[in-house]
C-alpha cells in the first residue's frame, strides 16, 4: 500500500447529482430514522454517480491504475470497484459480527470517501470498518465523524509505511491498525503473496546483477530504480526490499 493523492477538485457529478442525492437521503432519514435504523427501509444508491466513468478515471489516474490497498494492476482483466472507505450500505466492527444499519449513507458520493480497488480487496473489506472505540461510531449524518478513530489505514490520508512493512513478499504490521488492515482486507492472501513473490524474484536477480557489476549492470540498476516508482505494481514491497 502506498500513499495516494486524490485530485483536490471532485468530479462534477459528485458535486451536483451526488450532493442532490445525499440531501434527499438525509431528508428521508430524518423523516423516518427508525425504519432506516431497523433495516425496514434501505437506501438505494446510484452506481451511476459513485462509480461514474469520470470518478473511476480520476481515481485510476491518481492511483497509477492500481488497487489502493494491494497495489495490483488488475484492470486488464477485471473492472475493479469503487471502494467506499466508510461502507455506504451497512457497517460492521468485526468479521464475525452482524451488520449495523444503515451504513455511512451520507458519504456514498463523498469524494474523500472514494477509492479505486481490485475486486478481491473490495469483497474482503465488504462492510467491515472497525473503530478503536465502536461506541463512538457516527450512525447518521448528524453525528461527528471526527470522534471516530478508524482502525483501517486510509492510503489517501496517511502514510501506509508507518503501519505496514514488507519482509520479502509478506506484509507485516508495525501497529495494531496495520494488523487490522492486513487481516480485514486480506493483504497476505495466497494468490497475492504468490504474485508478489514472482516480482520479488525478478528484483532479487536484478539486485545480484547490479552487485556483481556485470555488463548488464546499468540496465538492471535502471529496472530496480523503476520498480520503486509509485506507478509500479507492488512498489511498497520493492522499496522495502531495495532500500
Answer for the pair 199, 238: CB distance below 8 angstroms, yes or no.
Answer: yes
Q: Which is nearer to Zn ion, 123 or 147 (CB)?
A: 123
Burial, 52: exposed, middle or buried (Cβ in 10 Å; 0-12, 13-18, 19+)?
buried
Shortest Cβ distance from residue 121 to Zn ion (Å)? 3
Shortest Cβ distance from residue 224 to Zn ion (Å)? 24
Task: Give the number of residues written for the chain.
Answer: 243
Lookup: cell for 91: 457497517
In sign, the C-alpha dihedral spanning 199, 184, 139, 81 is: positive
Shortest Cβ distance from residue 75 to Zn ion (Å)? 11
Q: Which is nearer to Zn ion, 192 or 210 (CB)?
A: 192
Q: Which is nearer to Zn ion, 123 or 212 (CB)?
A: 123
Q: Whose grid coordinates read 427508525? A: 34
Shortest Cβ distance from residue 235 to Zn ion (Å)? 14
Phi and psi angles of residue 115, each rounded to the nearest 5 degrees, phi first:
-140, 160
Among 181, 21, 39, which residue's Cα sits nearest to residue 110? 21
Shortest Cβ distance from residue 210 to Zn ion (Å)? 30
Site for Zn ion in 107-166 (CB under 5 A): 118, 121
Answer for the pair 110, 58: CB distance below 8 angstroms, yes or no.
Answer: no
Shortest Cβ distance from residue 197 to Zn ion (Å)? 16
User: Of the candidates 58, 59, 70, 236, which one interacts with Zn ion according to CB under 5 A?
Assistant: 70
Q: Which is nearer to Zn ion, 22 or 120 (CB)?
A: 120
Q: Which is nearer to Zn ion, 13 or 192 (CB)?
A: 192
Q: Decide if residue 67 touches Zn ion (CB under 5 A).
A: yes
Which H, E and C letters describe 5-70, residue by residue?
CCCCCCCHHHHHHHHHHHHHHHHHHHHCHHHHHHCCCCCCCCHHHHCCHHHHHHHHHHCCCCCCCC
Q: Which is nearer to Zn ion, 192 or 224 (CB)?
A: 192
Binding site for Zn ion (CB under 5 A): 67, 69-70, 118, 121
Amino acid at each position: 500500500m502506498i500513499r495516494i493523492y486524490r485530485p483536490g477538485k471532485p468530479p462534477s457529478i459528485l458535486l451536483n447529482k451526488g450532493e442532490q442525492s445525499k440531501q434527499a437521503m438525509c431528508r428521508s432519514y430524518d423523516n423516518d430514522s427508525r425504519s432506516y435504523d431497523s433495516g425496514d427501509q434501505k437506501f438505494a444508491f446510484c452506481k451511476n454517480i459513485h462509480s461514474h466513468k469520470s470518478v473511476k478515471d480520476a481515481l485510476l489516474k491518481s492511483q497509477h491504475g492500481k488497487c489502493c490497498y494491494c497495489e495490483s494492476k488488475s484492470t486488464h482483466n477485471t473492472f475493479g470497484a469503487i471502494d467506499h472507505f466508510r461502507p455506504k450500505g451497512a457497517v460492521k466492527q468485526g468479521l464475525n459480527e452482524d451488520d449495523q444499519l444503515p451504513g455511512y449513507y451520507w458519504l456514498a458520493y463523498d469524494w474523500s470517501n472514494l477509492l479505486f480497488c481490485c475486486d478481491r480487496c473490495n469483497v474482503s473489506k465488504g462492510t467491515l470498518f472497525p473503530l478503536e472505540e465502536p461506541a463512538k461510531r457516527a450512525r447518521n449524518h448528524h453525528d461527528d465523524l471526527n470522534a471516530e478513530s478508524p482502525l483501517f489505514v486510509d492510503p489517501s490520508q496517511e502514510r501506509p509505511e508507518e503501519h505496514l512493512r514488507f519482509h520479502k513478499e509478506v506484509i507485516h504490521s508495525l501497529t495494531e491498525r496495520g494488523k487490522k488492515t492486513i487481516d480485514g482486507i486480506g493483504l497476505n492472501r495466497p494468490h497475492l503473496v504468490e504474485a508478489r513473490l514472482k516480482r520479488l524474484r525478478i528484483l532479487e536477480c536484478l539486485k545480484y546483477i547490479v552487485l556483481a557489476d556485470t555488463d548488464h549492470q546499468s540496465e538492471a540498476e535502471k529496472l530496480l530504480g523503476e520498480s520503486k516508482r509509485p506507478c509500479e505494481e507492488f512498489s511498497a514491497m520493492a522499496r522495502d526490499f531495495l532500500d
